[in-house]
Structure 1
Amino acid sequence: MATENFQHSYSLTEIAKQLGRPRTTVQEWRNQFKPYLPTVQGTQGRTTRYEASALALFQLIAHLKEANEPISIIEQALIENSATTSDNTTANIPSFQPQVYEGLKQLAVALDEQRQLNKAIMKELQELRQQQTTYYHELMELLDRQNNVEENIRTRDFRLLETMRDMQDKKKKEKQRGGFFSIVFNR
């Protein structure tokens, strides 16, 4: 039976010739869609042989690639076609949907947690900005008060100096005048 499977199987080079495509292109498709392509058991690596149904799947891939369909559409078509060709083939195809769904659920939970964390950080940042604004206004008010106090001190010092000068000038004038008797006697 193994020889029967081998006789009705194809190498990658044979599939490329059947499709009229370069081997490297077919090899790239094989790498992209490997889980969907049935192989003959016991073959692996460079000696991997593909079942006849794989040739039909490669033809489907070639047709969809010519139509510039995205990989997701090609994968969906491969899943549908491989399900209709044989039940054994679908048993070999891993179902990634539950894993993807679980991964997306975990990602959604993580994103929700991140959003909540971002909201908390933004709220704290807003509070800090308000606090900074309050402190800034208080500082400006204190600086204004300090400037007023300094101006009052300068004014007071200036008046004090003026008063002292006036008093000194009066004393000098009184000394120059002499006293009451010097005015009377004109000396």
Structure 2
Amino acid sequence: MPVYTVSPDLLSSIEEDEKIYLTDILFVFTRKGCSFKVAKDKNGEVLDIYKKIEKNADSIKVWLDLMSFKPAKFESIDADLSDIDCTETKFMELCALTNSSKNLIVYSKQNIKKHLCDNSKINYKEQIINVFDRDEANNALNQKTEIINQIQNSQVAMDNSNITHSTNENTKN
């Protein structure tokens, strides 16, 4: 189950004509059966930061409401962020303390000011954080596995379908 840390940079930087990123990134996490989760700290400070973002506030509120349903779509990380003043560093700390995948989603890597992002990676407290900008996150979260079946001279029932009233002729060449 991949866990992603969603930076407030993503939420506050999406422009009116880019709202597709809200649905293609944020709302992926709310889908039934989706194994992706969003990291949050044990005290809910990250959620408070999300709630205070004025730009895209209505969409963020809907997203947070949907994320509150069971099964939980947030992964609670044992992190106390209260002593960290810098918002960017709070999210680095949260991401670094995530036991599974250390993935950070930002609007743009150019907006990372306090930490060196080299080759889509940040070394924070000896932890390697994978950084995804909005387009990379969109691609990673919406990968489609395409299955191509080549079947000849056969009848095949797939995806819970049925074959009825079939005349199957056994021909030998």
Q: Same fold (TM over 0.5)?
A: no
Q: Which of these two proteins has the greater Rg computed from alpha carbons?
A: 1
Larger fraction in helix: 1
If the length of structure 1 is used for normalisation, what is the TM-score? Answer: 0.23
Higher strand share: 2
Q: TM-score, normalized by length of structure 2?
A: 0.24
